[in-house]
Amino acid sequence: MSRAQISALVFGVGGFGALVAATASNEWKVTTRASSVITATWVYQGLWMNCAGYIQACRGLMIAAVSLGFFASIFALFGMKCTKVGGSDKTKAKIACLAGIVFILSGLCSMTGCSLYANKITTEFFDPLYVEQKMGYAYNGAASAMPSRTKYHGAEGDFKTTNPSKQFDKNAYV
């Protein structure tokens, strides 16, 4: 039984570490601004770079998940049979059960935050009226053709089509 508890503690603490790393990461949204493949510029955005409403909700859920994961790790450590802290075996069993429940709540918070963020990003990506995604996701998915055919002139606020090169003229392959 002690081997199962130790492995559960290792997996729980490892998951907590991954949760902290994901929360602090700047790679939640990766976009590219490119006119060609050679001159691509990658832009990374994390939870801490923007103050939109849904990002604040995701931020709050991830912070709650980190807090719950921390306390679950402490409870799991006290609830193990091989530790001398925590009282009798019956009390330790209750503490270990509490740690499992708190780990599950932490996982639900992080899963909800990540799913909310991913849903918003994919909704923006496939929305034809959302202008920023057409420049942001230059070579991803269905929007890969849009940046190659239009050029955005920032101050004017509209898209202007560029002239096609002469090599693709209608008589080029005759």
pLDDT along the chain (174 residues), means of 10: 84 92 88 71 83 90 95 91 82 91 94 92 82 44 34 45 49 46
Longest dimension (CA), the chain: 89
Report whether 68 contacts 101 (CB < 8 A). Answer: no
In 3D space, the residue among 96, 101, 30, 94 whose CA is nearest the CA of residue 69 turns out to be 101
First to last CA, the chain: 78
Query: Phi/psi of residue 62, each to 5°?
Result: -70, -35
Query: How would you classify the pairing of strands 150-153 and 29-33?
Result: unpaired
At 28 the three-state DSSP class reads: coil
**What does pTM read for this prediction?**
0.68
Q: Is the dihedral of CA 143, 145, 147, 149 positive or negative?
A: negative
pLDDT at 39: 72
pLDDT at 63: 95
pLDDT of residue 36: 66
